[in-house]
Amino acid sequence: MKDKILLAHGSGGKLAHELIEKNFLKALANPFLVKWDDSAVFHLSGRVAFTTDSYVVNPIFFPGGDIGKLAVYGTVNDLAMSGAKPLYLSLSFIIEEGLPQSELNEIVDSIQKATQETRVEIVTGDTKVVHRGSADKLFINTAGVGIIPDGVDISGSNASPGDKVILSGTIGDHGIAVLSQREGLSFSTQLESDCAPLGSLVAEMLAASPNIHCLRDPTRGGLTTTLNELAKQSKVSIRIEEEKIPVREEVLGACEMLGFDPLYVANEGKLVAIVLPEDADKVLKAMRENHYGKDATIIGEVTAEHPGRVVMKTCLGASRIIDMLVGDLLPRIC
């Protein structure tokens, strides 16, 4: 049983210490963690951005990523969407007993690589082990703090009529890549999750124009949900053009098969930016020079009529409303 996580690993006793030392500290050690104190202590100065998120993705390994990488990138991205430079993260594991240690180690290694890439540090953490069936393999909860540079004011309520709406790349890659591996639904695809850290992209966008009005990453609920949130928060309408939205052929194909609309499928490495019309080209250029924004494109604009609504011009030139996702995406019958 040595190769599996047991309830005793979460007991706070010897096995728990062994788990922290051998599985976590070995990979993640830094001056904060090696102190073994109850909380991390550090100085911050300036405007602080603070976020939290939980990760329950099934399966925990998927094409293009895993739950650990997703947790770090997701938290870093939430901070970046406020314009903040991400600094410190907390990391809590809820592990279902029986999880192979090798899988946990693989995820911790992936977390280590992701923190290195995004230049953040895990400064505090926790582990709980629960009975079989009380969790699904592994859940991760994180929190993160970052500092917002002076002069940056990004919020979902800042969109104003005339602004341009920029999307950083193709939509639906993550959702379809994960679904393709799910039990009972596996289908073969070359598609990988777009799971990516967006901190550097945001930093370069802010360097091009510090006046960016809104930033948001369209994760669960997809592009549609994000645009609806922004339209409602800012009390404006957003008009987009269907033909401008980049979608991979594989994603379109899988969506047709399953009866999904790519506009509602999750992304983990994309962002939507709403910027002043005069800044749009500068920001777009900066985005396209970054690897994670190379397919960036202007998909529409902000208007004053129909506040709170998102309207899409279809490929036939007609207009329709696109509303938020209701419930979960369910595959269709015929």
Q: Mask of contacts with another protein, 52-91, x by CB under 8 A? A: ----------------------------------------
Q: Answer yes or no whether residue 253 interacts with another protein by CB under 8 A.
A: yes
188 binds another protein, rule: CB under 8 A: no
Q: Label residue 131 left, alpha or beta by phi (over 0 means left) and psi (-120 to 50 means alpha).
A: beta
Subset of residues 290 to 309 that bind another protein, contact rule: CB under 8 A: 306
Contact track, another protein, 113-152, x by CB under 8 A: ----------------------------------------
Q: Closest distance between another protein and the C-beta of residue 43, in Å?
A: 46
Selected binder of another protein within 46, 161, 259, 307 (CB under 8 A)? 259
Q: State how far the Cα of 234 lies from the Cα of 236, in Å rounded to an integer.
A: 5
- Tell me the HSE value of 283 on the side-chain side, using a 13 A CA sphere: 29
- Tell me how far the alpha carbon of residue 160 is from its chain's centroid: 25
Residue 248 CA neighbour count, 13 Å, CB half: 21
Pick the piece of the chain touching another protein (CB under 8 A) from 34-42, 47-55, 101-109, 249-257: 249-257
Indicate the residue among 43 and 332 with the shorter CB distance to another protein.
Answer: 332
Q: At its nearest, how many Å lie between another protein and the CB of residue 53?
A: 24
Q: How far is the CB of 257 from another protein (least distance, A)?
A: 10
Q: Which helix (H) or strand (E) holds 146?
A: strand 138-148
- Reported as type and span, the H/E element at residue 167 is strand 164-167
User: Pairing state of beta strands 61-62 and 65-66?
Assistant: antiparallel
How far does CA 306 lie from the centroid of its chain? 29
CB 237, CB 306: distance < 8 Å: yes
Q: Which of 43, 150, 188, 326 binds another protein (CB under 8 A)?
A: 326
Q: Which two tokens stand for residue 18?
A: 């062994």
Q: Which of residues 219-248 bind another protein (CB under 8 A)?
A: 243
Binding of another protein at residue 327 (CB under 8 A)?
yes
| 2-10, 26-34, 106-114, 326-334 -> range binding another protein (CB under 8 A) | 326-334
Integer-rounded Cα radius of gyration of the chain: 21
| Total residues at interface with another protein (CB under 8 A) | 28
Task: Note whether 11 binds another protein by CB under 8 A.
Answer: no
Q: What are the Cα distances from residue 74, in Å, to 108, 137, 182, 190, 284?
A: 16, 19, 21, 23, 23
**What is the identity of the amino acid at 172?**
G
Per CB under 8 A, the list member of 2, 133, 184, 291 interacting with another protein is: 184
**Residues engaged in binding another protein (CB under 8 A):** 184-185, 243, 249, 252-253, 256, 259, 261, 306, 311, 314-323, 326-327, 330-334
